[in-house]
Amino acid sequence: MKLFITPASPYARKVRIMLTEKHIECEIEVVPSLAAPDSPVPAYNPLGKVPTLVLDDGSSLYDSVVIVDYLDHKTPVARLIPQDNNHRATVRRWEALADGVCDAAIAVVMEKRRVPEKQDETVIERQMLKVERGLRAMSEDMGDSKWAAGDKFTLADIATGVALGYLDLRMPQLGWRESYPNLAALYEHLMARPSFKDTAPPAA
Ligand SMILES: N[C@@H](CCC(=O)N[C@@H](CS)C(=O)NCC(=O)O)C(=O)O
């Protein structure tokens, strides 16, 4: 298998952490520019996005939600998506929330990359509200627990940790650790895992 990534992509990091936690071998190909006309990704994913996973038979999977589901079912080693229906739905909702926080943070980054005269402050405010409400919901849902959802490490922790790491990269001024000490504690022990440490995004 081969996984196309960019080093800072939070969705690709979610998949890379999953591969390590589940001890699944996979070649990683870093795409220098997704916007370049010679990007290899569109040949496997018409949307041209990462992560895209190419299977050994040449077929491909995207997006990250589909890929993590595939990987978790590929081997029973270290299941990260619970089998119980209600628990699985809770974990997947965490993933949707954490991915949504990343979507909103990326929208802010993209807006701020426009020339100042073209930036729309209302877009930035609306997306920042999603980030702030998302963080508050995660913190409230987690309460005093060690893990995001239930009493074990799951995909909910992976998705949450990846979103927090992405905020550190793109919005270091946000100060989420001070506002949400329980998320700070979760992030600290997630970063002690080799899967998180080895996939930390490059400094901005
Ligand atoms: N929902 C998708 C989002 C993937 C995504 O937006 N990836 C970004 C990189 S962080 C990308 O490939 N952007 C290039 C583009 O939109 O053309 C997933 O979970 O995989």
- Of the candidates 21, 40, 74, which is a domain's last residue? 74
Same domain, 44 and 7: yes
The rounded Å distance from CA 107 to ligand 1 centre is 11
For residue 42, give its domain range.
2-74
Same domain, 57 and 139: no
Cα–Cα distance between 124 and 100 in angstroms, integer?
15
**Residue list, ligand 1 pocket, CB within 6 Å:** 6, 9, 11, 34, 48-51, 63-65, 99
Helix (H, G, I), strand (E, B) or coil at 144: coil
Which residue puts its alpha carbon closest to atom 2 of ligand 1? 63
CATH classification of the domain holding 150? 1.20.1050.10
Cα–Cα distance between 99 and 101 in angstroms, integer?
5
Atom number in ligand 1 closest to CA 47: 17
Same domain, 190 and 95: yes
Same domain, 59 and 112: no
Same domain, 63 and 129: no
Same domain, 161 and 141: yes
- Per-residue pLDDT tens over the stretch 112-166: 999 999 999 999 999 999 999 999 999 999 999 999 999 999 999 999 999 999 9
Cα–Cα distance between 203 and 193 in angstroms, integer?
19
* pLDDT computed for residue 203 by the predictor: 81
Residue 75 near residue 81, CB atoms below 8 Å: no
Same domain, 166 and 67: no
The rounded Å distance from CA 9 to ligand 1 centre is 7
Task: Provide the 10 A C-beta neighbour count for residue 103.
Answer: 16
Say what the pTM is. Answer: 0.97
Domain count, the chain: 2
Pairing of strands 60-61, 27-30: unpaired
* pLDDT computed for residue 117 by the predictor: 95
Same domain, 68 and 89: no
Q: Is residue 80 part of a domain?
A: no
- Of the candidates 74, 107, 137, which is a domain's last residue? 74
Which residue ranges in the chain fall short of pLDDT 50? Answer: none
**The tokens of 87 are what?**
């628990």
Q: How far is CA 160 from CA 92, 165, 191, in A?
A: 11, 9, 12
Same domain, 104 and 145: yes
* pLDDT computed for residue 89 by the predictor: 98
Same domain, 54 and 89: no
* Length of the chain, in residues: 204
* pLDDT computed for residue 186 by the predictor: 98
Atom number in ligand 1 closest to CA 10: 10
CATH classification of the domain holding 60? 3.40.30.10
Residue 159 near residue 98, CB atoms below 8 Å: yes
Which residue puts its alpha carbon closest to atom 19 of ligand 1? 64
